Amino acid sequence: MDQATTTTTFEKPIQDLDQVVIRFAGDSGDGMQLTGDQFTRTTALMGNDIATFPDFPAEIRAPAGTLPGVSAFQLRFSSFDIHTPGDAPDVLVVMNPAALKVHLKELKKDGVLILNTASFSALDLKKAKYEKDPRTDGSLAGWRVIEVDLEARTREALANSPLDSRGKDRCKNMYALGILYWMFHRDMEPTIKAIGQKFAKKPEIVDANLVAMRAGYAYAETTEIFQTAYRVPPAQLPPGTYRNIMGNQALGLGLVAGAQQAGLQLFLGSYPITPASDILHQLAAYKNLGVVTFQAEDEIAAVAAAIGAAYSGSLGLTTTSGPGLALKSEAIGLAVMAELPLVIVNVQRAGPSTGMPTKTQQADLLQAMFGRNGESPVAVLAANTPADAFEVGFEAVRIALQFMTPVIVLSDGYIANGSEPWRLPDIARLPAIPVQFAPPGKPGEKFMPYQRNPQTLARVWAKPGTPGLTHRIGGLEKADLTGNISYDAQNHQHMIDTRAQKIANIADAVAPATTLGPDHGDVLVLGWGSTRGAITSAVLQLQKQGHKISASFLRWLNPLPKNLGALMQNFKRVILPEMNKGQLCMLLRSKYLVDVESYSKVDGQPFKSQEILDYLTKALASPQGGAR
Amino acid sequence: MSTTERPVLQKKDYKSDQDVRWCPGCGDYSILNAVTGAFAKLQKQLHETVIVSGIGCSSRFPYYMETFGFHTIHGRAPAIATGVKVANPALDVWVVTGDGDAMSIGGNHFIHAMRRNVGLKILMFNNRIYGLTKGQYSPTSEQGKVTKSSPMGTVDYPFSPIALSLGAGGTFIARGVDVFGPHLEEMICRASAHQGTALLEIYQNCNIFNDGAYKTFTDKEVRDERTLAIEHGKPLLFGAQKDKGIAFDGNFKPYLVTGQDLGKAYVWDETAETPAPAMALATMSEAEFPVPIGVFRRREKPAFEAGVQAQVAAARAKKQGSLHELLHQGEIWDVK
């Protein structure tokens, strides 16, 4: 925040900025996600580009005021095209000492720290493991500290509210939001509308929240401690109709759109698991589009029911996260063998085992690729931004149907809960997804369930209920064409080769890899999944500095794009940042014999663009492999 | 296709062209015979019938039937069949499973199918042994059973599949025996007629690994004295002369009645609201009492798939969704 101050009609000066990063942090009961969400909606409606990153604890309500209970929401908005929710915040709002302790180190030097002094009693400090009050021991030097007793101010504002003091205290996040709305020149109307809708049946709560927000706004406007307001002009986004969207939502919409374009009933079998459950909630509300959702007794039943639905002629879908994918492995193998269209969504989280369910990671790639017994290839693709998840969901449906195969969609916690403006697709231009069920059999003719499309090698889809198509299939190896059980050696070799070739053929039906920047040069940075934003920011910056560096983001991981091998040869070096221990790197090295350099990070947090920039800067200055 | 155009199907028409590969003398042959007999009696349409199975000797069943068949993975048949039935309720969906498949590895799916009352007809072949893996004990093996994996006898207590199903809220629970052909065929027909989940436990002899498991009550010489054919609305009587009966005390503890007390024999009501009498029959000692066969319980309850599809229909009737509307939900804005 270091741009020229201009004079305005406001009493206080307004400074124009091209971007701001704000982080709200407090107890998980302090309403930080709601506050962040409201700021996001307002800002999106005001035409800024925006990216968000909620970071919540695993516990629903950890003990109040403690370090594990801290919940945060970061958002970045700008007047230009941005790719990530930002690294270090310009403004940090902390509701208690625990939030201060967890997040202060990330606040930019000279950044604004808005601190709720109501929660700085000796006990609060002790819970946050502070020995001394950080406000008085010099540890806040270097930041612009604004102390506000949010509780006292909110109670004052709500003196006439019928709510009890507990209820009033709950409105303090809205008071803080009001302050920020003034600081960043935001329109309060969208929030007034949203709160009115959210608590429609509790007018006293609506009133209290809005009074608190307006009071916060007025407080900032009139109090001397706030010297300047800031303005971030709207971004120049491509023309169109926009909506702010989270990754999970976009993925759900893409899957539904795919099923609609295919004219099929979408059947979701799912078992609740963080961070994938929201897709189940979302699709459960789409019954009026013919979507059937089934909350199964466990992960296995969820995929099994989806397979049953696919067998009977619906589009089968199951949604889960890493540990759930592990449980589904055997059933996915059955879908490989039975060659049924099935979409499996894995919203990855930090593992192994239960790991850190609310933190992000991309360490299930090899599980998706190989986590089944036998030679059991499936199609694998990954979403790389919240909005991209729509296209990825749609594409997964298209490929599952065209190739009669299970398709694993990889998302992750960062994409799932992050949000960005999404330019709505033109529905009239969404491609149709042709589906052809086997026609009724002719009398006296034996139906061949493993008859294939010679081009794709997809087998026919025989819908039970169709006369003349009765047949038996299953997990035992089948004779080609008839589907009867076969232990014949040559047949087994042939069927394994055929199933592998079928997946390889998908490469003919998907877009080749493209590059950000020239398709040749010194360094190619490869990315897949949610690393896209951070890599893009870093590579664009290095390009500006004159480096011959390009990036490519892989949507398809199995099969890999046909031109990838040649593309890598166009560069002297290939660097691959991943939130795992180098899983795609390992695949690329083994497939292409290219010395891909892995930049691995597995701390449960997404890459910051600065981290990637630093790594690449160092790499560019050193010989191959020197950055490691 | 209207019913008038449908050709009359013979029992043999339900058999596929695949060679049956069960061991000679296996009880599964009689079950296959009873199923094809029942299907012919009911004139089931081949293309409308789907048989889903798990893993085990019993689960080879679909290959031998000329219907749609899906031989799936161990224990998961009820879950896969649930997907088939919910996605397309018009299909006639059967599950063929065994005591290992349904009671052990697939126990969870089994109880939840019963709880939900999905329109599946589950034929559970219970031979009280693992046959396909060559002779380990199963969750229905009697305690102390000596097998390859229990050389000193099992320590486990067995399940009563009927009692388990009662506990899981099953709405049709019955038992038949492989060698009682006509009775078994009748049970299959009755299971078929039920809306919701029907469990038919079929005692089946594995002549290789557990031969004679049921001979103490199925052999011709002892059959009348050792089995109790329960029938709706009739007293619980057994014996060649129907001169013995089962009565319950106030705590549903069963006791034998004969002679003058025969009138105290409990009059069976398979539709009884309380599962207590059925539970009493399902858990009474096989050594002390005759083994009950027939319909233990039958309750009318809406089927799961009907409820699910009704919600979809209601949502659509209220407001047919469109993709356009779906994408344009929430706050949207235009950039010119």
Q: Which of A332, A470, A487 to mutate to test the interface with B (most CBs of B within 10 A)?
A: A470
Q: For position A625, what pLDDT does the model report?
A: 53
- A489, A567: one domain: no
Q: For position B228, what pLDDT does the model report?
A: 98
Is there a domain that residue A125 lies in?
yes
Q: What is the CATH number of the domain that holds A316?
A: 3.40.50.970
Residues 6+ apart with CB under 8 A from B273: none
Mean pLDDT of chain A: 94
Q: For position A191, what pLDDT does the model report?
A: 95
Instruction: Give the strand order in the sheet containing A419-423.
Output: A144-148, A112-116, A91-94, A19-27, A70-78, A49-55, A419-423, A240-246, B332-335
> In B, residues 203-262, which contact A (CB 8 Å cutoff)?
none
**B73 at A interface, C-beta within 8 A:** yes
- A192, A288: one domain: no
pLDDT per position as a tens digit, B22-44: 999 999 999 999 999 999 999 99
Confidence of residue A624 (pLDDT cuts 50, 70, 90): low
Q: Alpha carbon of A377 to those of A341, A383, A407, A497, B90: distances in Å?
A: 14, 20, 10, 10, 33
Structure tokens at B282: 């399902």
Question: Is B243 a residue whose pLDDT tops 80?
Answer: yes
Chain A residue whose CA is closest to B312: A287
Is there a domain that residue A515 lies in?
no
Average confidence (pLDDT) over B156-184? 98
> In A, residues 534-563, which contact B (CB 8 Å cutoff)?
none
- A317, A377: one domain: yes
**A175 at B interface, C-beta within 8 A:** no
Is there a domain that residue A406 lies in?
yes
Is there a domain that residue A70 lies in?
yes
One DSSP character per residue, B259-289 reads GGGGGGSPBP-TT-SSSHHHHHHHHS-TTTS
**A79 at B interface, C-beta within 8 A:** no
Rg of chain B in Å (alpha carbons): 22
Question: Is A2 a residue whose pLDDT tops 90?
Answer: no
- Delimit the domains of chain B by residue range: 3-214+302-311, 228-291
Q: Alpha carbon of B71 to those of A3, A351, B5, B80: distances in Å?
A: 69, 34, 31, 10
ipTM of the complex: 0.97
Question: Is A194 a residue whose pLDDT tops 80?
Answer: yes
Is there a domain that residue A626 lies in?
no
Average confidence (pLDDT) over B46-67? 97
- A131, A213: one domain: yes
Confidence of residue B62 (pLDDT cuts 50, 70, 90): very high
Q: In chain B, what percentage of residues exceed pLDDT 70?
A: 99
**Partners of residue B315 in chain A, C-beta under 8 Å:** 287-288
Inspect the interface and report whether the beta carbons of A472 and B83 lie closer than 8 Å: no
Is there a domain that residue A103 lies in?
yes
**Partners of residue A467 in chain B, C-beta under 8 Å:** 1, 47
Question: Is A627 a residue whose pLDDT tops 80?
Answer: no
Helices marked H in A342-488 — which ranges? Answer: 365-370, 388-403, 413-417
Inspect the interface and report whether the beta carbons of A313 and B67 lie closer than 8 Å: no
Average confidence (pLDDT) over B175-192? 98
pLDDT per position as a tens digit, A220-235: 999 888 888 999 999 9
Inspect the interface and report whether the beta carbons of B87 and A474 lie closer than 8 Å: no
Q: Are A392 and A252 in contact (CB under 8 A)?
A: no
pLDDT per position as a tens digit, A455-468: 999 999 999 999 99
Q: For position A102, what pLDDT does the model report?
A: 95
Confidence of residue A28 (pLDDT cuts 50, 70, 90): confident
**B289 at A interface, C-beta within 8 A:** no
- A177, A249: one domain: no
DSSP 3-state percent helix, strand, coil across chain A (nearest 5) = 40, 20, 40
Q: Are A551 and A528 in contact (CB under 8 A)?
A: no
pLDDT per position as a tens digit, A318-337: 999 999 999 999 999 999 99
Q: For position A89, what pLDDT does the model report?
A: 96
Alpha carbon distance A502, A399 (integer Å): 11
Element (H, E) at A342: strand A342-348
- A178, A214: one domain: yes
Chain B residue whose CA is closest to A258: B323
- A225, A365: one domain: no
Q: What is the CATH number of the domain that holds A86?
A: 3.40.920.10
Chain A residue whose CA is closest to B112: A297
- Report the domain count for chain A: 4
Q: For position B4, what pLDDT does the model report?
A: 53
pLDDT per position as a tens digit, A85-107: 999 999 999 999 999 999 999 99
pLDDT per position as a tens digit, B266-313: 999 999 999 999 999 999 999 999 999 999 999 999 999 999 999 999
- A407, A489: one domain: no
- A481, A549: one domain: no
Structural domain span for residue A150: 5-231
Inspect the interface and report whether the beta carbons of A427 and B323 lie closer than 8 Å: yes
Backbone angles phi, psi at A354, to 5 degrees: -70, -30
- A181, A311: one domain: no
Tokens 């015979």, residue located: B33
Q: For position A626, what pLDDT does the model report?
A: 46
The CATH topology of domain B3-214+302-311 is Rossmann fold (3.40.50)
pLDDT per position as a tens digit, A524-557: 999 999 999 999 999 999 999 999 999 999 999 9
Q: For position B5, what pLDDT does the model report?
A: 65
Q: Which of A79, A297, A334, A373 to mutate to test the interface with B (most CBs of B within 10 A)?
A: A297
Average confidence (pLDDT) over A268-284? 97
Crossing angle for the helix pair B28-42 and B181-193, nearest 10 degrees? Answer: 50
Counting beta carbons within 10 angstroms of the beta carbon of residue A52, is it exposed (0 to 12), middle (13 to 18) or buried (19 or more)?
buried
Q: For position A601, what pLDDT does the model report?
A: 97
Of A198, A231, A264, the one marking the end of a domain is A231
Chain B residue whose CA is closest to A44: B333
Question: Is A4 a residue whose pLDDT tops 80?
Answer: no
Q: Are B303 and B195 in contact (CB under 8 A)?
A: yes
**Partners of residue A41 in chain B, C-beta under 8 Å:** 331
Of A490, A510, A530, the one marking the end of a domain is A510
DSSP conformation class of B240: T
Question: Is A478 a residue whose pLDDT tops 80?
Answer: yes
Number of Cβ within 10 Å of residue B8's Cβ equals 7
Backbone angles phi, psi at A583, to 5 degrees: -75, -50
B199: closest CA of chain A, how far (Å): 19
B262: closest CA of chain A, how far (Å): 46
Average confidence (pLDDT) over A498-502? 98
- A12, A131: one domain: yes
Inspect the interface and report whether the beta carbons of A464 and B326 lie closer than 8 Å: no
Inspect the interface and report whether the beta carbons of A330 and B73 lie closer than 8 Å: yes
Of A231, A265, A297, the one marking the end of a domain is A231
Confidence of residue B1 (pLDDT cuts 50, 70, 90): very low
Residues 6+ apart with CB under 8 A from B242: none
Q: Which candidate, B13, B19, B120, B117, places its Cα nearest to that of B64? A: B19
Confidence of residue A289 (pLDDT cuts 50, 70, 90): very high
Average confidence (pLDDT) over A225-252? 93
**B308 at A interface, C-beta within 8 A:** yes
- A171, A247: one domain: no
Structure tokens at A389: 């998840």
